[in-house]
Amino acid sequence: MAHEEITIDTDAIQRRMDGAMAALKTEFASLRTGRASASIVEPIQVDAYGQMTPINQLGTVNVPEPRMVVINVWDKAMIGKVEKAIRESGIGINPVTDGPLIRLPIPELNEERRRELTKVAAQYAEAAKVAIRNVRRDGMDQIKKAKTQGMSEDDQKFWSDEVQDLTDKAIAAVDKALEAKQAEIMQV
């Protein structure tokens, strides 16, 4: 009987680690620096029509000037809910309602708020690392399973090293992204 080579799908592992990195970038984009950005409201969910809905599905988000985000809410009945979701989101901005428009004036960041935001960035990065390590664990579990299916010691070592290498690179990318985001937040 010919011995079939057992391989581990490192592409899938890489894709999942890239997914964790993409999620981190989205979270970082929502952390505001001193400039207005439409991405600041991206992670905020509103209880609309019986389900949690992103703000950008309830209205148009614009940045008319460097320190102002404006949300034009399509359904007048949702204005209060969108405003409440923004207040409770922890982004630290007080919405100002003006008819169908909700204005978010972006205040200057003080030193204390900048430090808080760097800590939040660090928490996001840590969550991304946990996700990456979970992918690594799944990969290692695949290798253990393959061992029971007759994978050789050498192949196990090879695939373990491959998975570890992907993990190390992904963690390093998270650290680098965190460093850059924290520098951006602290920049006055």
> What pLDDT, in 10s, does the model give residues 87-129?
888 777 889 998 889 999 987 778 888 888 899 899 999 999 9
Q: What is the pLDDT of residue 32?
A: 65
pLDDT digits (tens, 9 = 90+) for 41-76: 888 899 988 899 999 899 999 999 888 999 999 999
Q: What is the pLDDT of residue 188?
A: 64
Name the pLDDT band for 29 (thresholds 50, 70, 90).
Answer: confident
Name the pLDDT band for 36 (thresholds 50, 70, 90).
Answer: confident
Q: What is the pLDDT of residue 165?
A: 97
pTM, two decimal places? 0.67
Q: Which domains does the chain have, with CATH numbers?
A: 10-27+110-186 (1.10.132.20), 35-105 (3.30.1360.40)
Type of residue at 67: R
Within a 10 A sphere around the Cβ of 90, how many other Cβ atoms?
A: 10
3-class secondary structure, 97 = strand
Is residue 169 pLDDT above 90, yes or no?
Answer: yes
Average the pLDDT over each of 28-32, 59-63, 116-120, 169-173 and give the range with the smallest value.
28-32
Name the pLDDT band for 1 (thresholds 50, 70, 90).
Answer: very low
Q: What share of the chain is helix, strand, coil (3-state, %, to 5)?
A: 60, 15, 25
How far is Cα 182 from Cα 40, in angstroms, rounded to an integer?
A: 16
3-class secondary structure, 42 = coil
Q: What is the pLDDT of residue 2?
A: 40
Is residue 155 pLDDT above 60, yes or no?
Answer: yes
Q: What is the pLDDT of residue 140?
A: 95
pLDDT digits (tens, 9 = 90+) for 8-23: 899 999 999 999 999 9
List beta partners, residue 61: 71
Q: What is the pLDDT of residue 27?
A: 84
